[in-house]
Amino acid sequence: MHARRKGKAGSKKPLSTTAPSWLKLKKDEIIALVLKLAKQGNQTSLIGLILRDSYGVPDVKIITGKSIAAILKENKAYPEIPEDLQNLIKRAVQIKKHLDSNKKDMVSKRGLQLTEAKIRRLAKYYKKTSKIDQTWKYDLERARLLVG
């Protein structure tokens, strides 16, 4: 967004719209695996990667009819703050920590400004779509406590 080039965005989904015949796992087993991996503290994208690489599940949505996030929301295991916003907050905290020890690093200072702008834009969208609380506000000091 802030660079002078277009870039290629997004990952490519499998072409098939039906469950593969070689997959031995059933719908209920996949849902149980998703919940187990979420309880271990994994984020939704990492759950998808683990299922793909370790269990051979090409796409959870094709088999269960629901995304990983929808499964977690149904079972009340979805985090308060969405994953992408949480990752941006973690990045901002790491940049701020770097800036505390490297005060003259102006490139990182600009990176922090851009990251915080992304956080504010995304939070505005999530408030509009009611995915986060309307009173939620980004604050770097509170974010440090949130991230740990």
7-31 pLDDT, tens per residue?
777 777 777 788 888 888 999 999 9
What 8-state DSSP symbol labels residue 15? Answer: S
Is residue 28 exposed (0-12), middle (13-18) or buried (19+ Cβ within 10 Å)? exposed
Alpha carbon of residue 80 to chain centroid: 12
Q: What percent of the chain has pLDDT over 90?
A: 67
pLDDT of the residue at 17: 81
CB of 37 closer than 8 Å to CB of 72:
no
**What is the residue extent of each domain of the chain?**
27-74, 83-147
What is this structure's pTM?
Answer: 0.81
Contacts of 118 (CB under 8 A, 6+ apart): 1, 88
Collapse the DSSP code of 24 into the 3-class scheme (helix H, G, I; strand E, B; otherwise coil) and give the result.
coil
CATH dotted code for 83-147? 1.10.287.10
